[in-house]
Structure 1
Amino acid sequence: MTHTADHGALMDQVYRHQRRFYDVTRKYYLLGRDHLIDRMDVQPGQRVLEVACGTGRNLAAIKRRYPQAQLFGLDISEQMLLSARAKLGPGAALAKADACAFDPRALFGVVAFDHIVMSYSLSMIPDWQGALDEAFSHLAPGGTVHIVDFGDQAGLPRWFRRGLLAWLAKFHVTPRWTLPAEMARHVSGAEVRQAALYRGYTVYGTLTRRSVA
């Protein structure tokens, strides 16, 4: 079995049952997702891809906020895609794929995206730097990768950080403390913006590909 297949099988095992109550429980600690959506500024007809779309919660919210957007989602877990398809119906094109290596033309018949969302996904992807690079490579000129994930917890008590890490480990989630630096690494080809939210609980940022002159 390949590494990709291994990770897909693990995610299916983790979420086979959790997907049924995932949205209800995660709203209490996946903070900043709606902050990201409100700041996307999606124009009519623009293409929006969510990498690791899970149950489709974010894509549904994007559809309500930007009803004329074209929506796409991919996830490595077929179990999660079952929930996403039920939630979104024909409102989004969905496909099973690896965040670190995917072909938009083969999956969706499109070449690039105006917006790519990575919401609490990098903390679950083993090769998260590779996934960040892959997403950026599929941006249209002027397009933006929108990221929200666990921050460094710098403004929160140490006991809280220890407890959170122990809890997240049960779900194979590992906060990426170097994420801000990895985002800045793309500065040669992108305009980078980032901010800490909720006393460092969450890091929010964007990578915008510079338009061709």
Structure 2
Amino acid sequence: MAAPQATAAGHAAAMDRMYRYTRHVYDLTRRPYLLGRDTMLAALDPPAGGTLLEVGCGTGRNLVRAAELHPGLRLFGFDISSEMLKTAQASVKSAGLSSRVALAEGDAAVFDPRSAFGIDRFDRVIFSFTLSMIPDWTGALRHGLALTDPRGSLAAVDFGGCERLPAAARAGLSGWLALFGVTPRLGLEAEMHRLAVGEGRDLRFARPLRGYAQYGIIGLVGVA
């Protein structure tokens, strides 16, 4: 079995190869089918002066949008791809948000925010269409919850099983996603439920758009 460090290094190299050039058109080309991101961001309801961490922040698009939606929110993001982070840094600077958004490079399953940002836990932690590209997605989700403040919440949106879509549509989407190394995590609800129960938290979960997407929030009862 490969060592964790070797596995992470291999994944980082693969992501850099994939996004070295496509990062320049990523946001434009993904807009039609990364559905549910803005719904998640709008529902964050962070506390005044709160903090948000995005796991796998990619181009920084979600961080910029969250900053626009929630004035006063302090934002942090990291990604395993140094290529994607180049675009994220440029996006944050272009939006005039360099004083509110901090970025770092790291692996979702072991990222140390204290070393990168000087913070241990965050009021809101989000995964946006990243779990389906992280090899150790259960480890990443578990670690993300560990980085969530006890009174905060963790939200994840990603591709679902398309169970209420026609068979041809399911097959076509599956083939298309495979070209980009994307594997829908059909066990996402079960894993989020297991983590929520283990931490004594509440889970709300939905499969909108006829199962095209899946969207879960782990938090205290009554906390968005």
- Taking the aligned partners of 1:68 and 1:44, their CA distance within structure 2 comes to 7
1:43 deviation in Å? 2.3
Residue 159 (str. 1) matches residue 163 (str. 2): no
1:30 deviation in Å? 0.5
CA separation of 1:80/1:169 partners in 2, compared to 1, >3 Å: closer, same or farther? same
Letter matched to residue 202 of structure 1: A
- Taking the aligned partners of 1:158 and 1:43, their CA distance within structure 2 comes to 43
Alignment of 1:1-213 (within 5 A): 2-89=6-93, 90=98, 91-188=100-197, 189=199, 190-208=201-219
Can you list the C-alpha shifts for 1:111-159, whole angstroms capped at 9, x where unaligned?
A: 1000001000000000100000000011111111111001110110111
Aligned pair count?
Answer: 211
- Taking the aligned partners of 1:59 and 1:197, their CA distance within structure 2 comes to 23
1:44 deviation in Å? 2.2
1:59 deviation in Å? 0.5
CA separation of 1:180/1:169 partners in 2, compared to 1, >3 Å: closer, same or farther? same
Letter matched to residue 131 of structure 1: A
CA RMSD of aligned residues (A): 1.3
Can you list the C-alpha shifts for 1:83-103, whole angstroms capped at 9, x where unaligned?
A: 000011213100000001011
1:209 deviation in Å? 5.1
Q: 2:108 aligns to what SS in structure 1?
A: coil
- Taking the aligned partners of 1:164 and 1:155, their CA distance within structure 2 comes to 13
TM-score normalised over the length of structure 2: 0.91
Can you list the C-alpha shifts for 1:46-73, whole angstroms capped at 9, x where unaligned?
A: 0100000000010010000002100000
Which consecutive aligned stretches of 4+ in structure 1 deviate over 6 angstroms post-superposition? Answer: none
Q: 2:207 aligns to what SS in structure 1?
A: strand
- Taking the aligned partners of 1:42 and 1:209, their CA distance within structure 2 comes to 14
Q: 1:2 aligns to what SS in structure 2?
A: helix
- Taking the aligned partners of 1:82 and 1:35, their CA distance within structure 2 comes to 26
* Percentage of pairs with the same residue: 46
Gaps of 5+ in 2: none
Can you list the C-alpha shifts for 1:170-202, whole angstroms capped at 9, x where unaligned?
A: 111100111111111113212111111111101
Gaps of 5+ in 1: none
Q: 2:211 aligns to what SS in structure 1?
A: coil
Contact persistence 1:123–1:150 (CA under 8 A): yes
Letter matched to residue 133 of structure 1: R
- Taking the aligned partners of 1:209 and 1:139, their CA distance within structure 2 comes to 11
Letter matched to residue 173 of structure 1: V
1:104 deviation in Å? 1.0
